[in-house]
Amino acid sequence: MTNKRIPAMPARRWFGLRPGSPRAERRRRRPHGRAVTAAAIAILAAWAVVAIAAPLLAPHDPLQQAGPYYTPPSSAHWLGTDQLGRDILSRIIYGARLSLPLAVIIVALALLLGGGIGLIAGYLGKWADESLMRLTDLVFAFPPIILAMVVTAAFGPSARNAVLALVLVSWPTYARVVRSAVLSIRGSDFLHASRLLGVGPWRALVRDVLPNSVGPSVVLASLELGNAVLMLASLSFLGLGPRPPAPEWGAMIAAGASDLSKWWVSIVPGIAILTTVLAFNLLGDAVRDWLDPTAARASADRRHRDRRKVGPPPARTQPVTAPEPQAAPLLDIRGLSVALPGPAGPLPVIKNLDLRVDAGEIVGIAGESGSGKSLTALTLLNLLPPGARVNGSIMFQGKELTELDARGWQRVRGSGIAMVFQESAAALHPMLTVGLQLTEHLRAAQGMSKAAARARAVELLDQVRIPQPRRALRAYPHQFSGGMRQRIAIASALACRPRLLIADEPTTALDVTVQAGILALLDELRRDNDLSVLFITHDLGVLSSLTQRAYVFYAGRVMESGGTAEVLTQPAHPYTSALLGARPHGLSTERTLRAIPGAPVVPGQEPPGCPFEPRCAYARDECRTGPPPVEATSTDRTLACVVAPDLAAAR
């Protein structure tokens, strides 16, 4: 059996194991860990019973003298008596009524306060993040026990003040953990996908961000319960906790510390603290494993089974033909420039970009990583990070997108332009079923009834060839292989019938056979749904097999564009030629694999001339004077190079 781990599950399934589920199988294969967890739960359950049934279990009143002073353990007093003749067993039992509830209250209040601050800081960012995190750092600058002592001493020893002091020193830890979780989620593909399909920012905070940040905070809270017991006992040991004669375990240890010969006075409450803290820590480790979101993906046998059930669609035998020229393109980008916020000011990443997509056309964008391909796609959907600056024109269906407000973008995303992200596992919400993700978007964006949305979801899954689509609606994304998840992501993108689909390297993480199936599926969906596709890839083989026109990107600029066949068979720009030369040619040894010298340009450190000049073997002095203009060399061909015409003549 393949050892596989799965992402965090929905809250309603955290506390139950379905027989035969992956999590049940994982727990079954760890009998030792299961035994330790069971022991920890048994210890905590025993202490909980002791605390609840204290009046029935305690043999004496914990506040009254029950025998002589400092009586060692005997049949009359099983754990002996203290300096005032009080029965230690009774005080230990009643101490559980005080220490355990106070620890839970401390952790709950710290979690609510710190989690709320971390959630707001991570989601809002900017000044809110900066100010709240500086406050967090200020609290972190003080040792926790020292700060708790100062607060308790200032307000006076009492159980309430001890709780407030420990909450004050504990909340920054939760704030940092939740903020980190929110920051990782805020830029995730599935959150972008939710925004594409009409989910508002505050609804996304509650539905997408909050549940995915619960796991780390719950793990931390389970671990911090033991620390809360220990910190409360420490304050009581110093005389800053609940006031005497309250039977608190830390105060009992302090009473016996003055005379170590009376060992039972301090040893017994110490053992109570030890067992409780140890049980909480072991339970925290179990909860961490239970909610562990780091997951290996579906196993190889599942991928094999999916391929056997579905198999790649038949390869296209007819050559790709471009559609008839349109009077007005579906998407027309003119002079697009994008600058992202940087430490020294705006950082230009896209420069003077022109791009066109006609109706029913598949247009490809190729280039190295960091060339601006994905950033261009995010610009088309207004999913850039806060503070980004966009100049130029983006016309879509005759509408200027750069002039839209938030409501206008909501109407365009999903219904006009949709996107399939590179990592299907990241693009699908890990804590929602496939059916809920599809139907919720349909009901929110198109006002469908629940039954109509479910019927449309089944239709979409069947359209992308998911086996047993009705059953698939009840499954979670982690239960599918990589190829199946990518098909589901495509179905989600097509839910609101967009006119333009942006596919951002959707086949990168897939094997060759699954990749071929996804490519054929995209082409089939384009024909069946009157769809245009903007396909982003770094694989020139994929570019040649699927697209009709191609744009070659480098350092946020278009180096060359034109018909795909012409660009790839007769490259005019040295960078395009270098990309083709660096492409592997199977097992053939007749052609040498040529690496492009140097490294891609770092944003903000571009040379004054052509961005490719430092790596170009044909660079001249004029290449260093300024960026080459993009010029049309034929009806549908552009080029940004001053030496290319001479190179073409020399050939």
DSSP 337-395: EEEEEETTEEEEEEEEEEEEE-TT-EEEEE--TTSSHHHHHHHHTT-PPTT-EEEEEEE
Query: Which pLDDT does position 16 carry in this prediction?
Result: 42
Please tell me the predicted confidence (pLDDT) of residue 585. 61
Alpha-carbon distance of 70 to 172, in angstroms, equals 43
Cβ atoms 348, 339 nearer than 8 A: yes
What average pLDDT does the segment 552-556 reach? 93
Mean per-residue pLDDT, 216-234:
89
As a whole number of angstroms, the distance between CA 26 and CA 36 comes to 15
Q: Quick one: pLDDT at residue 17?
A: 43
Check pLDDT > 80 for residue 28: no
* Residues 542/516, Cβ–Cβ less than 8 Å: no
Q: Average of pLDDT values for 55-71? A: 91
pLDDT of residue 341: 87
| Residue 582 to residue 595: CA distance in whole angstroms | 5
- Cα 478 to Cα 297: distance, rounded to the nearest angstrom: 7
Contact predicate 498/491, CB 8 Å: no
Q: Which residue has the tokens 């049980």?
A: 279
Least confident residue range of 340-344, 345-349, 363-367: 340-344
User: What phi, psi does 336 have (nearest 5°)?
Assistant: -75, 130
Fold topology of 11-290: MetI-like fold (1.10.3720)
The predicted pLDDT at position 8 comes to 41
- Whole-model pTM: value is 0.62
The pLDDT assigned to 87 comes to: 94
Would you give the DSSP letter of residue 479? G
Phi, psi of 172 (to 5 degrees): -60, -30
Q: Which of 417-426, 465-474, 587-596 has the highest mean pLDDT?
A: 465-474
* Per-residue pLDDT, 369: 86
Enumerate residues 6+ apart whose C-beta is below 8 A from 39: 279, 282
What's residue 287's pLDDT? Answer: 81
Average pLDDT value for residue range 327-335: 87
Give the tokens for residue 65.
Answer: 């003298």
- Taking residues 546-565, report their average pLDDT: 93
Q: Band of the pLDDT at 249, cuts 50, 70, 90?
A: very high
Kindly provide the b/e burial profile for residues 434-443, where b requires at least 16 CB atoms within 10 angstroms of the residue's own CB: bbbbbbbbbb
Can you read off the two tokens belonging to residue 153? 């001493």
Instruction: Calculate mean pLDDT across residues 565-593.
Output: 78
> pLDDT tens digits, residue range 277-328?
999 988 888 887 776 544 333 333 344 444 434 444 434 434 444 445 445 7
Examine the pLDDT at 112 and tell me if it is beyond 90.
Answer: yes
Please give the backbone phi and psi of residue 84, each rounded to the nearest 5 degrees, phi first: -110, 10
CA 527 to CA 253: how far, in whole Å?
Answer: 78
Instruction: Render pLDDT for 37-53 as a digit per residue (tens, 0 to 9).
Output: 899 999 999 999 999 99
pLDDT tens digits, one per residue of 445-473:
777 888 999 999 999 999 898 989 999 99
Q: Is the pLDDT of residue 30 over 80?
A: no
Choice among 154-163, 324-333, 606-615 with the minimum mean pLDDT: 324-333
3-state secondary structure 134-188: HHHHHHHCCCHHHHHHHHHHHHCCCHHHHHHHHHHHHHHHHHHHHHHHHHHHHCC
The SS3 of residue 124 is: helix
Share of the chain above pLDDT 90, in %: 36
Task: Give residue 628's pLDDT.
Answer: 87
pLDDT average, residue stretch 412-433: 82
* pLDDT score, position 650: 56
Average pLDDT estimate for 638-651: 76
Chain CA centroid to CA 624, Å: 42
**Do 419 and 501 touch, CB atoms closer than 8 A?**
yes
CA distance 32 to 52: 30
CB 593, CB 584: distance < 8 Å:
yes
Q: Which residues contact 105 (CB under 8 A, 6 or more apart)?
A: 163
pLDDT at site 292: 54
pLDDT of residue 592: 64
pLDDT digits (tens, 9 = 90+) for 172-195: 999 998 888 888 777 666 666 666
CB 390 within 8 A of CB 384: yes
533, two tokens: 């596709």
Bridge partners (DSSP) of residue 536 are: 365, 504
Percent of the chain scoring above 70 in pLDDT: 83
Domain positions in the chain are 11-290
Go through the chain and tell me how many residues it has. 651
Closest CA to 94 of 67, 62, 59, 64: 62
- Tell me the average pLDDT across 551-557: 93
